[in-house]
Structure 1
Amino acid sequence: MTANNPVVAAFVAAINEGDKAAFEALLAPDATMSDDGSDRDLGQWTEREIFSAGGHFTVESQEPDGLSMLARFRNDTWGEMKTRWRFTLTPDGSKIQRFETGQA
């Protein structure tokens, strides 16, 4: 399943392709994120949990706007787990301002 929102779909594709430059281009300059309810350093977290660990995203279900979803997320460190993702876009809808993830 592909994410309904084009920015979120590009986020998922960048992760699955291991394309860090494409991923970073989707983020607002001051983007933030949280994991299991705790704010994290976005650069350190994405490097450790996604890009250095072979992260892969499979969307299982989502809200109609594509900004909230359940996904199976797999990486070489933790294996596969069901996760919840929520995205906040910039006011013009072109970039990700914040994402929140955690085990579902």
Structure 2
Amino acid sequence: MTTETSRSSARGSAHEFTHEPDASRYAMRIGGQLVGVLDYTINAGAISFLRSFTNPPFRGHGYAGELVAFAVDDVETTTDYRIVPMCWYVGDWFEAHPERAALLTR
């Protein structure tokens, strides 16, 4: 899986997305500050997204959605895993992106 990538947002700030397999999480940073994380576990050919968390100063800016999109893209392009959305936010994200539903398993 991807270990690190950077993207610029429409707001012009560089967002750093990382996959941290030793911690079983994806993370997002802006200017070195941890914005949020998406924790997961892997079992029987599936990756379960357990919990998303956005640090309070960064809430309400759509960063959690960007982090979920990065993680979903990474899983799709680098693994054969199916996704189990254990976290309510990830479930809502997939409802808003039905074109990605083929990646889901229950």
- Using the size of structure 1 for normalisation, the TM-score is 0.30
Greater relative contact order: 1 or 2 (C-alpha under 8 angstroms, separation 6 or more)? 1
Task: Give the number of the structure whose residues are more often helix, by fraction.
Answer: 2
- Using the size of structure 2 for normalisation, the TM-score is 0.30
Task: Give the number of the structure whose residues are more often strand, by fraction.
Answer: 1
